[in-house]
Chains A and B, each alone.
Chain A
Amino acid sequence: MILVLCEVAPGSSEPDEVSLEALAFARALSEAGGGVAVRAVVVGPVPDGDHLAAVLGDHGAGEVRHADGEGLAAYGGAAWAAAVQAVREETGSVAVLAGGTPRGMEVMAHLAARLQVPMAANVVSFDGLSPLTVRRQVAGGAALEEMRLPERPAVLTVAGHAWSAHGVGGPAATWVACHPEVPAADRRATVVRTAEPEPDESGSLRSASVVVGAGRGAGGPGGFGPVTELAELLGGVVGVTRVVTSLGWRPHHEQIGQTGSRIAPDLYIACGISGAIQHWAGCASSKAILAVNTDPEAPMMTRATYAVVGDMHEVVPAIVEEIRNRA
């Protein structure tokens, strides 16, 4: 049996896309292993279990174990791992996996530590089953590591966007409620408050035909004026790097990359973005890329379709002005 931790945003009944990608990986692993059952585990409150069971069933989960109760309402890595561990022991799963999200990584790391087995992070494929041999992203995706996971259960996370999350038409999964005990020691570090998240508009980022991106080179939250103006002129949207969202300069839903949205616009204009591997993973499917950077040797510049060498604070306003002059 293969157990997949599926994440659901607080207050939502929609599974996270990366979790569905992990289910796709689990299905492939199952098929290679002769049809081993795939089950999902969901931790914490879920408003509409019927809907979630239908979606996860469509993606190949025959059963959903819903772990809820004391100590699981607020997120905590150890508490969630305790719940997943309990389900794993009940189901005798030979592999436990999650999407390569921050929570997926943390919970699987806890589980691996508790079970004293190895963990493979950011797996993109498997090469063999005896022993389970996987390939995973290392060095931020610049290289792949071939790694063996001989112990059982095999614990791993599936790299975001490495697999396609598509339904397979399965029936609604059987919903099994459970209330695992979470020891006090596993509740020592849990979320005590959450600031209201920004409205999630990442859907428009993923479907936009033009994305104008900026990174640390913007210089601060006030440095996005011309970038926003150019995006609006071209009927596009703004996208940013992880550092920009971490610094609080722009909202999280604008983040492009391994831990953000993956985009495939007709044109991606990357301003002041060096092209770190994690960001490249999110924009590599763009049909054309225009890079603006002071460093002509930056990876984004050498990989782009078009490049302009220069300071984005000078180049982008000039492009805006040129477009206006020709209108």
Chain B
Amino acid sequence: MTRVLVAVKRVADSSGEAVLTDDGQGLDGRYAGWTIGNHDACAVELGVRVAEATGGTVTVLSVGPTEAEEQIRSALALGATAGVLVEADPRTLGPADVAAEIAGVVREATEGYDLVLLGNDAADTGDFQVPVRLAYALDRPVVTGAGMVTVDDGVVVATVNSPYGDETYEVPLPVVVSVLEGGVEPRYPSLKGRMAAKKVAVETRQAGSDPAGPGRVRWHLPPPAPSSTEVLGEGPAAAPAVVDALGRLGVLP
């Protein structure tokens, strides 16, 4: 039975055009909406799979604003069994602060967590270090960039798709693992799951004081690239126009 904690971050959906907040301290999700990053979504999926395979539990945690409960409930609808929200203004927190908050939850958990899963890096700030700093805060080993994670007889088997080949780690629990998108396809919530998620009580606590902060001055957007896309048509009917264009570009055999 593996007790899994999955940490997710509420981020502005950046699949479209990036829009900054007025103070330049991050992405503005007022228009695009809020979500979790793809790495986080895969971490939730792997956490649920590990719990299912070992008869364990999954608690989903977010360090963020009150509204991050929305992301916690989304994970609950996918099979997580409990939720914890550490209320904080994420703009004031650096990676070490976020790691410290997660570590506090792990230390104070009554039954503890054997496996902590996180996205490899936050979809917005992209710091690449919360999982590693968390591991140091807990004095646990850490594997980063895993695409697949399983637990077998108290040992985590994590596979990293690296330029040097698929690298496998085998580490006894407890351990911290960061997850890279692509190893698994996150599931969709069922109606039953969504209904059940509404009934779960999400534990709320306040973040500690005196964060070190992110060292951020402000964010900037690069100047927009001019677009002059020529639409050649729709569907297979566009093929002649495409081949004409290939001819103009001089790439036809």
Contacts and interface: CB of A to CB of B under 8 A. Distances in A.
A11 B142 CA distance: 25
Interface secondary structure of A, over-half rule: mixed
Contact of A319 (B15, B18, B27, B243): B243
Contacts of A13: none
B132 A109 contact: yes
Interface string B1-39: 000000000000011111010000001000000000000
B126 A233 contact: no
A301 B16 CA distance: 12
A139 B124 contact: yes
Nearest to B161: A246
B26 to A, nearest CB: 9
Nearest to A317: B236
Interface of B: 14-18, 20, 27, 94-96, 121, 123-129, 131-133, 135-136, 139, 141-145, 147, 160-171, 175, 180-183, 185, 212, 214-222, 225, 227-240, 242-243, 245-246, 249-253
A290 interface: yes
B24 to A, nearest CB: 9
A282 to B, nearest CB: 14
A110 B133 CA distance: 7
A144 B222 contact: yes
Interface string A227-255: 00000011110000011011110001000
Contacts of A105: 121, 128, 144
A276 interface: yes
A192 B128 CA distance: 23
Contact of B215 (A78, A103, A118, A243): A118
A197 B129 CA distance: 27
Which bucket holds chain A's interface residue count? 35 or more
Given A9-B163, A102-B162, A122-B128, 10 more contacts: A106-B145, A191-B168, A191-B169, A210-B251, A252-B163, A301-B229, A305-B229, A306-B245, A318-B237, A318-B238
A19 B12 CA distance: 32
Given A9-B163, A191-B167, A310-B234, A142 B243 contact: no
A243 B180 CA distance: 10
Contacts of A193: 167-168
A311 B147 CA distance: 28
A323 B95 CA distance: 53
A113 B134 CA distance: 9
B230 A113 contact: no
Q: Output the residue of B132, B144, B145, B253 with the most chain A CB within 10 A.
A: B132
A149 B132 contact: no
A190 interface: yes
A299 B224 CA distance: 12
A192 B170 contact: yes
19 contacts: A78-B141, A106-B145, A122-B126, A140-B123, A143-B18, A143-B220, A145-B125, A148-B217, A195-B168, A235-B253, A246-B181, A247-B182, A247-B185, A305-B228, A306-B230, A308-B231, A315-B235, A319-B239, A323-B253
Contacts of B27: 139, 143
A56 B21 CA distance: 43
Interface in A171-220: 185, 188-197, 209-210
Contact of A323 (B17, B133, B215, B243): B243
B144 A274 contact: no
B217 to A, nearest CB: 4
B117 to A, nearest CB: 14
A189 B141 contact: yes
B219 A138 contact: yes
Contacts of A147: 214-217
A137 interface: yes
In the A-B complex, list the 3 residue pairs whose CB atoms are closest, starting with the nearest.
A246-B182, A318-B236, A197-B165
B231 to A, nearest CB: 5
Contact of B133 (A109, A122, A196, A326): A109
Contacts of A303: 225, 227, 229
A309 interface: yes
Interface in A245-303: 245-248, 252, 266-267, 274, 276-277, 288, 290-291, 296-297, 299, 301-303
A236 B168 CA distance: 34
B94 to A, nearest CB: 7
Nearest to A309: B234
B249 A308 contact: no
B231 A139 contact: no
A89 interface: no
Contact of B242 (A302, A304, A308): A308
A327 B253 contact: yes
Nearest to B99: A113
A117 to B, nearest CB: 9
A290 B242 contact: yes
Nearest to A188: B141
Contacts of B20: 143
Contacts of A209: 251
A138 B125 contact: yes
Q: Output the residue of B125, B139, B144, B250 with the most chain A CB within 10 A.
A: B144
Given A77-B144, A290-B242, A133 B235 contact: no
A77 B133 CA distance: 12
A234 B217 CA distance: 48
